[in-house]
C-alpha cells in the first residue's frame, strides 16, 4: 500500500520505512518559526532550566504582528526578543519592516520541498505551497524545541482535494478556497493533511498556492500540500537555504476522502461574519455598506494581489467614507510594487499605505474598527472581535472584491470592473 505525503515525510523524518495513520512519532523539525510571541516563549523556555537554545540555526524569528510597536508594552516585548536572539546566537532573525513571517520565510529560502517546518502560528500551513510539511504548534512546544529540538507528532489521515478546470479572471485562489471551506465547513478537514491537486492547482502561481495552504487551517487541517513543480524550482532558484528533496505522495496512497471541485464555473465568494465557513457568492452580499477595505495579510498581500487591486483602482477613487488600507506582505513586495507603479496607483486612488506586517489583521493595532462598522478584508479570519470592536463585522473576499468594494463603498462583484 502506498503512502500519502504526510506518511512519507513523517516516516522519513522518523527514520522509518513506513508509517501508519495514527502512529505517533518523535521527530526533529528542520525549521521552526516564531514571531512577536518569542518573548513569551523565551520565558517558558527559561522555566525548563536549559541555559541556551540547543540548535540556534533551526529557528527563524520574524517580528511582524505589532510592528512598529504602537505601545510601550509591545516595544518592551520586541526588546526582549532582540536580547534573546543575541544571547542565543539566533542568526535568522528578521526585525520590524521585513514583512509577515509567512512571506519572509519563503522569500529567505526556508520554505523548501520535503522540509518539516513547525511554527507557533496557526498559518504555518502556508509552506505546504512549496511541498513542505508545515503545521502550527503552541508556545510551550516551541520552548521545548529550543531546549531539545524534538517533538511528538501524530500521523494524520489525508484528504485529497482535486480542483478541475480553470479559474476565470478575476476569480482567484481566494474565491476557490472560500468556496471549499464553505462547502466542507470550518471543521471539515479537522486534523487532516490536505493535498490539493488537479488542473486548477497545477496552473496556479506559487502565490495562489500559498493562499490555498494558508487557509487550510480554516477548515481545521493540520497541513496543506501542493506538489512542487517547475514553478517551485524557479521561485527557489536564488533563494533556497540549502539542498532539498521533493516528496510526493504515492499513486496508490490511501485517502480518507477524495473531494472534487470545479473551478471553471466558480464566481467570486465572500465569507460573512463571524465564521470563515459562512460563505456565499458575492451576489448574495452585494450592496452591504463598508467603512473599511483591507488589502494585505499573509493570505493576500503579494504582487498578484496588489496588481489586480491596482487594475481596478486605476483612474478611480476610493468611495467617500471608506478607508482603504494597503499592506504589502513584505519589504520585497513593497519594493517591487513601488517599482511597478502599483503603489502609486493604489495611493492615488485614495489607499493608505501601511508598513509590511500583519497590520490590523489580529486587532492589535493599525486600523481596528469601531462598533457598528464593517470591513471587507483579504485576510483569512472574520471572527467576532478580531479586528477591533466585537460589535463590528468582517467580510472576507479576494483582492479584486476588496478593491471593487472600496470603489463603490458597498460589497461589490469585481466582475463589474472587468
Partner 1 sequence: MNKGRVWKYGDDVNTDVIFPGKYTYQPMEPAEMAEHALEDLDPDFAKAVQPGDIIVAGKNFGCGSSREQAATCLKAAGVAAIIAPSFSRIFFRNAINSGLPVIELAEGTDAIQTGDQVGIDFADGVVEHDGKTYGFPPLPPEVLAILEDGGLIPHVKKLLAASA
Residue 242 beta carbon to partner 1: minimum distance, rounded to whole angstroms: 26
Q: Which is nearer to partner 1, 140 or 280 (CB)?
A: 140
The one of partner 1, ligand SF4, none whose footprint includes residue 298, by CB under 5 to 8 A per kind, is ligand SF4
x-or-dash pattern for partner 1, window 61-100, by CB under 8 A?
Answer: ----xx------xx-xx-----------------------
- Dist CA 51 CA 58 (whole Å): 17
141 binds partner 1, rule: CB under 8 A? yes
Q: Out of 54, 139, 288, 415, point to the residue binding partner 1 (CB under 8 A).
A: 139
* Cis, peptide link before residue 273, omega less than 30° from 0: no
Residue 128 beta carbon to ligand SF4: minimum distance, rounded to whole angstroms: 15
269 binds ligand SF4, rule: CB under 6 A? no
Q: Out of 14, 162, 362, 410, point to the residue binding ligand SF4 (CB under 6 A).
A: 362
Query: Is 165 exposed, middle or buried (CB count within 10 Å of its CB: 0-12, 13-18, 19+)?
Result: middle
100 binds ligand SF4, rule: CB under 6 A? yes
Q: Out of 7, 37, 172, 345, point to the residue binding partner 1 (CB under 8 A).
A: 37
Report 353-372 residues binding partner 1 (CB under 8 A): 362-364, 368
212 binds ligand SF4, rule: CB under 6 A? no
> What is the SS3 assignment for the chain?
CECCHHHHHHHHHHCCCCCCCCCEEEECCCEEEECCCHHHHHHHHHHHCCCCCCCHHHEEEECCCCCCCCCHHHHHHHHHHHHHHHHHCCCCEECCCCECHHHHHHHCCCCCCCCEEEECCHHHHHHHHHCCEEEECCHHHHHHHHHHCCEEEECCCEEEEEEECCCCCCCCHHHHHHHHHHHHCCCCCCCCEEEEECHHHHCCCHHHHHHHHHHHHHHCCCEEEECCCHHHHHHHCCCCCCCCCCCCCCCCECCCEEEEEECCCCCCEEECCCCCCCEEEHHHHCCCECCEEEECHHHHCCHHHHHHHHHHHCCCCCCCCCEEEECCCEHHHHHHHHHHCHHHHHHHCCCEECCCCCHHHHCCCCCCECCCCEEEECCCCCCCCCCECCCCEEEECCHHHHHHHHHHCECCCHHHHC
Q: Write the CA distances from 284 to 175, 394, 402, integer angstroms.
A: 14, 16, 15
- Contact between 19 and 11 (Cβ < 8 Å): yes
C-alpha closest to that of 283 among 169, 372, 404: 404
Report 211-240 residues binding partner 1 (CB under 8 A): 220, 222
387 binds ligand SF4, rule: CB under 6 A? no
346 binds partner 1, rule: CB under 8 A? no
Q: Which stretch binds ligand SF4 (CB under 6 A): 168-176, 238-246, 332-340, 356-364?
A: 356-364
Q: Which is nearer to partner 1, 75 or 87 (CB)?
A: 75
148 binds partner 1, rule: CB under 8 A? yes
The one of partner 1, ligand SF4, none whose footprint includes residue 49, by CB under 5 to 8 A per kind, is partner 1
Q: Which is nearer to partner 1, 385 or 409 (CB)?
A: 385
Report 14-73 residues binding ligand SF4 (CB under 6 A): 65
Q: Which is nearer to partner 1, 81 or 310 (CB)?
A: 81
- Dist CA 383 CA 377 (whole Å): 12
- Contact between 229 and 204 (Cβ < 8 Å): no
Interface size with partner 1, residues (CB under 8 A): 51
Residue 79 beta carbon to partner 1: minimum distance, rounded to whole angstroms: 11
Q: Which stretch binds partner 1 (CB under 8 A): 4-12, 82-90, 93-101, 185-193?
A: 185-193
x-or-dash pattern for ligand SF4, window 289-308, by CB under 6 A?
Answer: --------xx----------
Q: Which is nearer to ligand SF4, 90 or 396 (CB)?
A: 396
Q: Which stretch binds ligand SF4 (CB under 6 A): 104-112, 149-157, 333-341, 354-362?
A: 354-362
137 binds partner 1, rule: CB under 8 A? yes
Binding site for ligand SF4 (CB under 6 A): 65, 100, 102, 121, 123, 297-298, 358, 361-362, 379-380
Binding site for partner 1 (CB under 8 A): 24, 36-37, 39-40, 44, 47-50, 65-66, 73-74, 76-77, 119-122, 124, 135-141, 143-144, 147-148, 152, 154, 186-187, 190-191, 220, 222, 275, 362-364, 368, 381, 383-386, 390
Amino acid at each position: 500500500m502506498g503512502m500519502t505525503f504526510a506518511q512519507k515525510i513523517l516516516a522519513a523524518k522518523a527514520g522509518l520505512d513506513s508509517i501508519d495513520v495514527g502512529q505517533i512519532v518523535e521527530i526533529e523539525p528542520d525549521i521552526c518559526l516564531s514571531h512577536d510571541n518569542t518573548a513569551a516563549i523565551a520565558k517558558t523556555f527559561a522555566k525548563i532550566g536549559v541555559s541556551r537554545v540547543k540548535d540556534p540555526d533551526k529557528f527563524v524569528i520574524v517580528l511582524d504582528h505589532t510592528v512598529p510597536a504602537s505601545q510601550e508594552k509591545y516595544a518592551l516585548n520586541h526588546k526582549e526578543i532582540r536580547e534573546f536572539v543575541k544571547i542565543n546566537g539566533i542568526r535568522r532573525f528578521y526585525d520590524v519592516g521585513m514583512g509577515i513571517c509567512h512571506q519572509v520565510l519563503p522569500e529567505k529560502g526556508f520554505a523548501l520541498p520535503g522540509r518539516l517546518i513547525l511554527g507557533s502560528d496557526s498559518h504555518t500551513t502556508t509552506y505546504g505551497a512549496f511541498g513542505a510539511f508545515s503545521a502550527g504548534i503552541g508556545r510551550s512546544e516551541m520552548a521545548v524545541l529550543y531546549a531539545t529540538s524534538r517533538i511528538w507528532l501524530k500521523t494524520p489521515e489525508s484528504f485529497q482535494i482535486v480542483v478541475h478546470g480553470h479559474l476565470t479572471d478575476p476569480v482567484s485562489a481566494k474565491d476557490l478556497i472560500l468556496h471549499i471551506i464553505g462547502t466542507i465547513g470550518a471543521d471539515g478537514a479537522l486534523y487532516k493533511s490536505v493535498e490539493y491537486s488537479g488542473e486548477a492547482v497545477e496552473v496556479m502561481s506559487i502565490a495562489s498556492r500559498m493562499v490555498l495552504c494558508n487557509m487550510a487551517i480554516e477548515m481545521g487541517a493540520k497541513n496543506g500540500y501542493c506538489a512542487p513543480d517547475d514553478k517551485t524550482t524557479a521561485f527557489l532558484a536564488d533563494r533556497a537555504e540549502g539542498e532539498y528533496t521533493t516528496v510526493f505522495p504515492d499513486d496508490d496512497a490511501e485517502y480518507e476522502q477524495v473531494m472534487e471541485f470545479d473551478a471553471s464555473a466558480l464566481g467570486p465568494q465572500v465569507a460573512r461574519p463571524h465564521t470563515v465557513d459562512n460563505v456565499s457568492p458575492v451576489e448574495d452580499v452585494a450592496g452591504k455598506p463598508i467603512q473599511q477595505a483591507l488589502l494585505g495579510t499573509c493570505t493576500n498581500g503579494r504582487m498578484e494581489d496588489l496588481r489586480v487591486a491596482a487594475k481596478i483602482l486605476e483612474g478611480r477613487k476610493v468611495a467617500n467614507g471608506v478607508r482603504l488600507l494597503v499592506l504589502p506582505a513584505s519589504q520585497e513586495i513593497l519594493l517591487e510594487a513601488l517599482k511597478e507603479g502599483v503603489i502609486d496607483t493604489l495611493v492615488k486612488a485614495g489607499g493608505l499605505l501601511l508598513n509590511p506586517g500583519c497590520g490590523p489583521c489580529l486587532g492589535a493595532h493599525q486600523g481596528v474598527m469601531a462598533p457598528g462598522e464593517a470591513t471587507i478584508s483579504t485576510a483569512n479570519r472574520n471572527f467576532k472581535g478580531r479586528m477591533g470592536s466585537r460589535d463590528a463585522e468582517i467580510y472576507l473576499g479576494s483582492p479584486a472584491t476588496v478593491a471593487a468594494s472600496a470603489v463603490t463603498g458597498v460589497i461589490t462583484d469585481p466582475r463589474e470592473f472587468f
